[in-house]
Structure 1
Amino acid sequence: MLFNIFISDLDIGIKCTLMKFADDTKLSEAVDTTEGRATLQEDLDSLEEWANKNLLKFNKTSSSSVERDLEVLVDNKLHVSEQCTAVARKANRMLGCIKDTTSRAKVITPLYSVLVRPHLESCV
């Protein structure tokens, strides 16, 4: 609670979308125009100033080729192929469990509909 109070002024003057989570802050803006890029850079500079003024540091060093954002795996080129691979792997495991436990078609179809299909649809 105290940390939320401490960072309550973080978004003052920010023009882009700023989302605050429990231990994370996300800044986003459409950067398909020169103005969008400039606005994003101004807000990044403003956040850097805020951090310096409040003796905090942003973690700029952590980078990876794949990030999990709202439970979706996205790579550094904004592709979700890792997400699709992970979902397919999970669906195959579930199909294997269904196959190992029953061979009756009347049971397989409802189990597939309830356990496997929702995961595959969420990937789409």
Structure 2
Amino acid sequence: MDLMERVQRRAMKMIRGLEHLCYEDRLREPGLFSLEKRRLWGDLIAAFQYLRGADRRDGERLFTKACSDRTRGNGFKLEKSRFRLDIRNKFFTMRVVEHWNRLPREVVEAPSLEMFKMRLNEALGNLV
């Protein structure tokens, strides 16, 4: 747990009326996400912009679409590259692929960035 997460945990304990709840429930009450989930949210929005938005050319270089005829999940799966060094698993492209592939079809196929954000909030809200 990093410093920012500890600060957020301490601040959430100071809110009156929520002292008896666990950390996740204290976050859920005002409609907040943990810092880890907010980082993921930002990464997935950036990936959407690379893959579907104005940065599409850069997205084609960053991500590889998985060739699959499976119909389960979303229809826009990304391929995860393999590296020998563990440090590469922290790269943006490696962090995003697994989570992107788990998103429901209606989230990935959103027609606009705003719709993607709304649907992503719902999908991530179900994960807490």
Which interval holds the TM-score relative to the shorter structure?
under 0.3
TM-score (norm 1): 0.26
TM-score (norm 2): 0.25
Greater per-residue strand proportion: 1
Greater per-residue helix proportion: 2
